[in-house]
Amino acid sequence: MSLRHPSRRAILAAGAALAISSALSPRALRAQSTESAMRRIPSSGEAIPAVGLGTWITFNVGDDPVLRDECAAVMAAFFEADGRAIDSSPMYGSSQPVIGHGLAKLGAPSGLFSAEKVWTSSGPDGPAQIEQSRRFWGVPRFDLLQVHNLLAWKEHLKTLFEMKAAGKVRYVGITTSDGRRHDLLEEIMRREPLDFVQLTYNIVDREAEDRILPLARDRGMAVIVNRPFQQGALTRRLEREPLPDWSAEIGASSWAQFILKFILSHPSVTVAIPATSRVDHVRENVAAAAGPIPDQAMRRRMANHVEQL
Amino acid sequence: MSEWWSYALSDFLLFSPRVYRRMFELHNGAVWPMQVLTLATGLAMVMLVLWRPRGHGRLIALFLAITWAFVAWSFFSLRYTTINWAAAYVAPLFALEAMLLLVTGVLFGRLTFDWRGVPGLLGLLLVAFALVGQPSLAPLMGRPWASAEIFGIAPDPTAIATLGLLLLARGKPVGLLSPIPVFWCVMTGATLWAMEAPEAWISPAAALLAAAGGIWSGKARGGQGEASQR
């Protein structure tokens, strides 16, 4: 057997192959995916995963032990997929104690980013309601407290900013849904030093693109997107149609991922919070943030396609 | 509430249909074997209407009052409120109906019952549906028997049976006792409609039938009054 020195061409070819294989290695792909899956909160620079977990309707299961455990399983899958932000409200029936049940069952996951709301027409009742919510969750403090649907926003924002100054909450925000009261939302965003705004935005409800989302970017506010699937109505409608072949270009393997990728591709959007009661769906939702994110041309293509269905 | 016109009925729905159905399953399990007692009470009220023994009006009013009070406490205050905070506001209404039945029917004895005539037959039909038909809806729609809505346990058959009995009733309190059951039939119809449940029309239809029967009954009595004056 004779040993031959490799030729220059062979060395170059091997080098190129090594470079390509390194670039496409699982580690590199994971790094790319992780980067697109995380977003910065503008007011602090803290990174959080771009897909959170909403609890409207899905976590309101009362004291049904079977359904409570199902919700805990959804939370477990969410944390296993590196999800962090869970959002709830006193308006959501039993969702808060159900979250508390899940957190206790999972041993208080350290990655949790807890987003709550204050929802009462009485300003003085706000602190007691927040404390009740905290007990339901079983957390030492909330990461984010928001004024739900702008209800008694002046009084509650005063309370929340005082809590933030005292270190009792890390971020302050306000919420609205389904495109309501955007004029007032805009006014508050211009006046108040909010960390977060929460609103409805998806591939068919795009009113926020006109003023609210650009304003959030200008003002350095993080944006949480609620009702990404129009409470399931949008996905139910789209699932009657085949997913376009070119969805593979953005790594979307379902309509839910297609919609989430559209939402997350808006530069102002920080976190989308789809709600689900299914483990497979929560995994699918969190996975939507990984991989390629549509550019402007692709966003137009996606919106046009859905509009024509 | 601002921009109220932009809200759909489904925007007020706080829970999923699955959670709503399982709530009845859980509730039936929690109060078992009360169902046997409440159904027996329902049958007893029908017998009392048919046989009309002395004091039947007071007894029927008492049974109904206890039923409404039990549903107010066990279903609305303890069960439904766990998934719907608005249930806490409905519980006092059911308790008020119980009080009205107690005061007008038991204390003052202002209610008597008579099944004769078309409105009476319509009333008996509504009561029969509440006792037998409504509980059968669950298995007929592919749900387990355990999730059946039963008179005296769940609000819908309780309200429908009461409207049926009020069609059989004579006396001024009937007008006072009807609004709350009618209100509940509309509310539950709206809830089921928002859940896209196929049986959403049943309770509102029962309330409409009761209203039609009540108008018929009033006209018939008016006609009898005119005839007797001639």
Chain B within 8 Å of A187 (Cβ-Cβ)?
no
Q: What per-residue confidence (pLDDT) applies to B8? A: 78
ipTM for the predicted complex comes to 0.86
Contact flag B23-A60 (C-beta cutoff 8 Å): no
pTM of the model: 0.86
Mean of the per-residue pLDDT values for chain B? 91
Any idea which of A8-17, A81-90, A132-141, A287-296 has the lowest mean pLDDT?
A8-17
DSSP letter string over A178-236? TTTTHHHHHHHHHHS--SEEEEE--SS--GGGTTHHHHHHHHT-EEEEE-TTTTTHHHH
In the predicted structure, residue A4 carries a pLDDT above the cut 60: no
Is residue B29 within 8 A of residue B146, CB to CB? The reply is: yes
pLDDT band of B4, cuts 50, 70, 90: low
Domain extent for A237: 33-308
> CA nearest A95 in B: which residue?
B83
Contact flag A61-B11 (C-beta cutoff 8 Å): no
What are the pLDDT digits (tens) for B152-211? 999 999 999 999 999 999 888 888 999 999 999 999 999 999 999 999 999 999 999 999
Q: What per-residue confidence (pLDDT) applies to A298? A: 95
Residues of chain A positioned with their CB less than 8 A from the CB of B79: 62
Q: Which of B45, B65, B62 is nearest to B165 (CA)?
A: B45
Q: CA B114 to CA B121: how far, in whole Å?
A: 10
High-pLDDT (> 70) share of chain A, %: 88
Across A168-195, average pLDDT? 94
Q: CA A276 to CA A162: how far, in whole Å?
A: 34
pLDDT band of A235, cuts 50, 70, 90: very high
Decide if A5 is inside a domain: no
Give the 3-state secondary structure percentages of chain A, helix then strand then coil, rounded to 5.
Answer: 50, 15, 40
In the predicted structure, residue B73 carries a pLDDT above the cut 80: yes
Decide if A86 is inside a domain: yes
First to last CA, chain A: 67
Decide if A213 is inside a domain: yes
Residues of chain B positioned with their CB less than 8 A from the CB of A277: 16
Chain B within 8 Å of A297 (Cβ-Cβ)?
no
Chain B within 8 Å of A62 (Cβ-Cβ)?
yes
What are the pLDDT digits (tens) for A161-176? 999 999 999 999 999 9
Across B63-84, average pLDDT? 97
Contact flag B22-A180 (C-beta cutoff 8 Å): no
Decide if A8 is inside a domain: no
Which member of A58, A93, A178 has the closest CB to residue B84? A93
DSSP category for residue B106: I
High-pLDDT (> 90) share of chain B, %: 79
Is residue B57 within 8 A of residue B112, CB to CB? The reply is: yes
Across B22-46, average pLDDT? 97
Q: CA B109 to CA B171: how far, in whole Å?
A: 10
Q: CA A117 to CA A137: how far, in whole Å?
A: 12
Q: CA A149 to CA A199: how far, in whole Å?
A: 9
Cβ partners under 8 Å of residue A51, min gap 6: A37, A83, A260, A264, A271, A272, A273, A274, A285, A286, A288, A289
Q: What per-residue confidence (pLDDT) applies to A178? A: 82
Report the number of secondary-structure helices (H) and strands (E) in chain B.
Answer: 10, 2
pLDDT band of A208, cuts 50, 70, 90: very high
Is residue A117 within 8 A of residue A90, CB to CB? The reply is: yes
Which member of A57, A63, A64 has the closest CB to residue B14? A57
State the nearest Cα–Cα gap between B150 and chain A, in angstroms: 20
pLDDT band of A13, cuts 50, 70, 90: very low
In the predicted structure, residue B214 carries a pLDDT above the cut 60: yes
Which member of B6, B11, B82 has the closest CB to residue A62? B82
pLDDT band of A90, cuts 50, 70, 90: very high
Decide if A74 is inside a domain: yes
Q: What per-residue confidence (pLDDT) applies to A22? A: 37
Q: What per-residue confidence (pLDDT) applies to B218? A: 72
Contact flag B15-A67 (C-beta cutoff 8 Å): no
Decide if A194 is inside a domain: yes
Contact flag B83-A61 (C-beta cutoff 8 Å): yes
**Residue whose entry in the numeric block shows the structure tokens 């393997």:** A253
State the nearest Cα–Cα gap between B10 and chain A, in angstroms: 10
Decide if A10 is inside a domain: no
Bond preceding residue A294 cis, omega within 30 of 0 = no
In the predicted structure, residue B143 carries a pLDDT above the cut 90: yes
> CA nearest A67 in B: which residue?
B19
Across B140-157, average pLDDT? 96
Across A66-75, average pLDDT? 97
CATH code of the domain covering residue A157: 3.20.20.100
* Token pair recorded at residue B155: 């609000």
Q: Which of B198, B159, B202 is nearest to B182 (CA)?
A: B159
Phi-psi label, residue B13: left if phi above 0, alpha if psi -120 to 50, beta otherwise = beta
Decide if A91 is inside a domain: yes
Q: Which of A252, A269, A226 is nearest to A306 (CA)?
A: A252
State the nearest Cα–Cα gap between B14 and chain A, in angstroms: 5
In the predicted structure, residue A35 carries a pLDDT above the cut 70: no
Residues of chain A positioned with their CB less than 8 A from the CB of B10: 231
Look at chain A and report how many structural domains it folds into.
1
